[in-house]
Amino acid sequence: MIDITAIAERLDEAARTASATPQLEEPISLEEAYAVQAASLERRYARGEKRIGIKMGLTSRAKMTQMGVEEVIWGRLTDAMLVEDGDTIDFPAYVHPRVEPEIAFLLDRPLTGRVTPMQALEAVAAIAPALEIIDSRYENFKFSLTDVIADNSSSSNFVVGPWSDPHRDFSNLGLILRLSGVVKQIGSSAAILGDPIRSLVAAARLTSEAGEPLQAGDIVLAGGATAAEALSPGQHVQVAIQNLGSANFRTSEHFEERD
């Protein structure tokens, strides 16, 4: 039996102090990895953070193939992880920061269990362009699938742009990710499971199975629409999504060398 509490404490401390930590010493199951994630988040809740939604991961077929899995993964979002659109993040607060362009859903009613795409869409109050700042806390940016899940699916912070009416076709919207004005990624929302609404369908099922069904007011990040880009100090990061607008943030100039 693994010590879920001890691993959760180690990963939480690594995230809190922006300190790299070794990979998990022995293989663990998916169920154990999610148990570690839940225990780690409980430590955050005890410090006053509140759960406000979830993020989805491995939502591209290429990433699934790369990791050898057929199921998406998920992690929790808290109010302390939300960065205001246009704000500046403190670069030394991260270990291996990267950014992914995403679409965010805002729910106006609970969404539980196995649902159809139509039922999922009926629960959506608004959609928005978003950026997820991911940050694996493992040394040398090396990890297994269960390492990632235990580490809250590498979630760190996120930025949400202006909310829009969801009753439009968002299945194949063009998007551009720029770092300091330089185009780094060009993609489409269709890269998210072929249609981002499928990610929300999966989110409803997985969170219900975990005993934490989606609630009204929850934000759901649908998953990365392109490969992640590594961040550096002093950058302006922006995603522009067709018909939805843009979201952006900056990284601070300060940098500290780490072992």
Helix (H) or strand (E) holding 101: strand 97-107
pLDDT at residue 161 above 90? yes
CATH number at 174 reads 3.90.850.10
Residue 256 within a domain: no
Residue 8 within a domain: yes
**Per-residue pLDDT tens over the stretch 98-143:** 999 999 999 999 999 999 999 999 999 999 999 999 999 999 888 8
**Per-residue pLDDT tens over the stretch 50-93:** 999 999 998 876 666 656 666 899 999 999 999 999 999 999 99
Q: How many domains, in total, are found in the chain? A: 1
Q: What φ, ψ does residue 179 adopt, rounded to 5°?
A: -115, 115
DSSP 34-52: HHHHHHHHHHHHHTT--EE
Between 168 and 220, the more confident residue is: 220
Residue 258 within a domain: no
Whole-number average pLDDT of the chain: 93
Domain that holds residue 135: 4-251
DSSP label of 8:
H
Between 219 and 145, the more confident residue is: 219
Residue 259 within a domain: no
Which one, of 166, 206, 175, lies nearest residue 72 by Cα?
A: 206
DSSP label of 68:
T
pLDDT at residue 201 above 80? yes
* Pairwise CA distance, residues 159 & 131, whole Å: 5
Residue 257 within a domain: no
pLDDT at residue 257 above 60? no
Residue 42 within a domain: yes
Residue 245 within a domain: yes
